[in-house]
Amino acid sequence: MTSSKRPLVIGNWKMNLDFVEGLHLVQQLGVLLKNHPVEHTDVVVVPPFVDLRTVSSILDSERLAISLGAQHVNPNDNGAHTGEISTSMLKRLNVEWIIVGHSERRTHYAMTDEIVAETLRSVVRAGQHAVLCVGENSARREAGDYEEVVRAQLDSALRGLDERFHALVAVAYEPLWAIGTGVNATSTQVREMTEFVRTVMSSLSFSAPQVLYGGSVNPENAGSLVRDSDVDGFLVGGASLKAESFYAILQACDDCYAIKR
Ligand code: PGA
């Protein structure tokens, strides 16, 4: 980690854990964090919508240093959008972070680059943090034009965004071939792509953006990934579903930051 920013680790539960299971997970995580706090790392959990109220209450009543995120949001304020949720609804539940354009939404739920850009704008205008997900699939990695994929995704989502919102945007580089596969990108690949993301963002007038990596991050690889690349943290899926494994990833980031600072 060559970046001087505080690490940020976000646990995306995806469509796992009902509100009772979610409550247990946060309680367990709370015990681990109270016994051994991570001092330098910002922590976000991102439960399914139906768990948000329960998780929000427990974070508040236990005064846990964990922020709340949502996995998706509809860009409209309200109205005839059956099955959808708005930024203001999430805000009422103390949601501060929203994942925008996760590859699972892009691939399976027709989330186009245009909808990603619109969603990102609605998030930051509501004063919430957007975690913009970008990344190539295995075909584009093998074809060698993966940087073009990521450049196009960043460009369409961020070009023209009012500078006053820039600080609310974090980017997660998540190659599709690494998500849920057990095959993480190597530190070298992560370093190359986080540098590339920073270069593209700087050409779009972003200064010092927070760039995360996601894709099969686990307690075994988190330490070396954070040490040997210049990533600012992780977006974690599977390994965020167990308190011990998520906590181990937080600790790896925290230790690395404490040493390198
Ligand atoms: P994974 O998911 O950690 O299970 O690979 C990462 C993500 O999709 O954000």
As a CATH number, domain 8-260 is: 3.20.20.70
CA distances from 155 to 63, 74, 131, 216, 217 (A): 38, 21, 15, 26, 26
d(C-alpha 34, C-alpha 32), whole Å? 6
Ligand 1 pocket, residue 214 CB under 6 Å:
yes
d(C-alpha 209, C-alpha 171), whole Å? 8
Ligand 1 pocket, residue 174 CB under 6 Å:
yes
Beta bridge partners of 67: 44
d(C-alpha 171, C-alpha 58), whole Å? 28
Kindly report the pTM of this predicted structure: 0.97
d(C-alpha 98, C-alpha 75), whole Å? 12
- Report which residue type is found at 71: Q
- Residue found under tokens 């596969």: 181
Domains in the chain: boundaries: 8-260
Ligand 1 pocket, residue 179 CB under 6 Å:
yes
Q: What residue owns the CA closest to ligand 1's atom 1? A: 237
* C-alpha 145 – ligand 1 centre gap (Å): 22
Which one of 17, 174, 218, 242 would you pick to mutate in the ligand 1 pocket, going by the greatest count of ligand atoms within 8 A of its CB?
174
Identify whether the C-beta of residue 224 lies closer than 8 Å to the C-beta of residue 187: yes
pLDDT of the chain, 261 residues: tens digit per residue: 556 689 999 999 999 999 999 999 999 999 999 999 999 999 999 999 999 999 999 999 999 999 999 999 999 999 999 999 999 999 999 999 999 999 999 999 999 999 999 999 999 999 999 999 999 999 999 999 999 999 999 999 999 999 999 999 999 999 999 999 999 999 999 999 999 999 999 999 999 999 999 999 999 999 999 999 999 999 999 999 999 999 999 999 999 887 766
Ligand 1 pocket, residue 235 CB under 6 Å:
yes
